[in-house]
Amino acid sequence: MPRALIAPSILTADFGRLAEQVRAAEAGGADLWHLDVMDGHFVPPISFGREVVAAVRAASALFIEAHLMVAKPAEQFADIAAAGAQRLVFHYEAVRDIDATREHIQAARALGCEAGIAINPETPADALFPLLDALDEVIVMLIRPGWGGQQMQPALLDKVRTLRARANAAGLALLIEVDGGVKAHNASMCVDAGATLLVAGSAVFNDTQTPEEALAGLRARIAP
């Protein structure tokens, strides 16, 4: 069994050859898809919406998680789920209120999806402690969200350690994913901190390697 799963993000893929690149990454050993939906409000960039989610769904049978970097995540849930996403992840900072956050989690589940929360670099891990038993996944952002190609901030891995210790103490089978700047040279560091999923964008889709070569390099670094 691998120590962690790899979830390619398509932000740096060639959208003119999206289906081809998706199939290449799947052939290279991608475990699931991480699709960043950005609305131009919660984060400045606009990325894509349901049409691209549906295109990835048509090109691949792998599990799809949608990372909703949007100001009003619940308004996007139904469209993104209908397009093929199987896990809906929204930002703690977009909702904040604990009761409203629980309502978002329930809304995701009502659509037949798993539910996750992402936290920005400034949000402490313990902000999520009251919610961990209701979640399938937490994403710890290791960069400011919104742009690919940034350098990882290794100090933020302390939040992964804190969440892993809390989940283990409570007996929770919580997925902890890291997102931002994950490369072959630091992937093992993330797994050692307690991450069970790694988002890899430019580490997989770049101008120097094929997706198959890039994934092989990542997988070698996190082998048991």
117 alpha carbon, distance to own chain's centre: 10
Q: How confident is the model at residue 1 (pLDDT cuts 50, 70, 90)?
A: low
User: Model's pTM, two decimal places?
Assistant: 0.96
3-state secondary structure of 8: strand
Average pLDDT in the 82-111 region? 96
Residue 148's pLDDT is 65
Structural domains of the chain ordered from first start: 5-221 (3.20.20.70)
Q: How confident is the model at residue 2 (pLDDT cuts 50, 70, 90)?
A: confident
The yes-or-no verdict on residue 72 having pLDDT over 80 is yes
Residue in 80, 163, 149, 78 with CA at minimum distance from that of residue 119: 163
Write out pLDDT tens, residues 22-44. Answer: 999 999 999 999 999 999 999 99
Mean pLDDT value across the chain: 95
Catalytic residues: 36, 179
Burial class (CB in 10 A: 0-12, 13-18, 19+), 210: middle
DSSP 123: S
201 alpha carbon, distance to own chain's centre: 10
Residues 187 and 219: their CA atoms lie apart, in Å, by 9
Query: Angle at Cα 17 formed by Cα 14 and Cα 23, nearest 5°?
Result: 105
Residue 141's pLDDT is 97
